[in-house]
Homo-oligomer: A and B are copies of this chain.
Amino acid sequence: MSYDLWYWSGIPGRGEIVRLFLEALGQPYRDLARDRGDEALVADRDSRRDVYAPPYLVVGDSAISQAANILLFLADRHGHGGEGEDRYRVHQLQLTIADVAAEAHDVHHPVGVGDYYEDQKAEALRAAAQFRSDRMPGFLDHFEAAIGDGGWLVGDDWTYADVSLFQLMEGLRYAFPRRMDAVGADHPKLGALVERVRQLPELADYLASDRRLPFNEDGIFRHYPELDAA
């Protein structure tokens, strides 16, 4: 079977970790807003009482939303989400990865998603300083310590948390290149994990294709040079 995924067509955003996992699993899917446009997404979303926001996956008559929940659902069906109690270790790492992504977003929108960046730039400068100095190292240290001897977060094979951590690290590197350069040497296992995911044979075609959307200034991770520093 093929899955139907709905997510905004112009940004990697929270949809990208679902795409990456579907690709790595080798599961066919349609990326419907990229085929039909964001207006079709809005119309579909508004017809579903269970969905607060994209991304969501249509399965039969129902929609499964919240990116971490979609990953859990896919892993329960197709694997790569850990076995037994490891399932919860994978999921808790995923939820912390999602927390970091949300914080990285709020750095450029500290006052609220409804205002433009330009209208909250002064606040963003303060938020960015704290994110770079306190929050970012704490999170990276946590992930570095969580990586096991096999080079993956949980167990001997990649899980959706590894794939998702790859995307988080790529996003942080896009948004905060100087800061990430400065702290990179402190997190060698994390750097190696990112390269290991990038080299997964399952992802090679996708990462080289134009289906893989670049980061941009409409997404979660935005490169505003004034918010970055070593």
Contacts and interface: CB of A to CB of B under 8 A. Distances in A.
Given A110-B123, A126-B111, A130-B112, A59 B85 contact: yes
B96 A142 contact: no
Interface residues of A, number: 40
B112 A92 contact: no
A50 B92 contact: yes
Contacts of A92: 50, 64-66, 69
A146 interface: yes
Contact of A106 (B49, B69, B96, B106): B106
A204 interface: no
Contacts of A62: 85, 89
A142 B88 CA distance: 27
Given A64-B89, A110-B127, A113-B135, 18 more contacts: A49-B145, A50-B89, A62-B85, A66-B91, A68-B95, A69-B95, A72-B91, A73-B88, A110-B111, A111-B123, A111-B126, A111-B130, A112-B127, A112-B131, A113-B130, A114-B130, A115-B130, A123-B126
Interface of A: 49-50, 52, 59, 62, 64-66, 68-69, 72-73, 85, 88-89, 91-92, 95-96, 99, 102, 106, 110-115, 120, 123, 126-127, 130-131, 134-135, 139, 142, 145-146
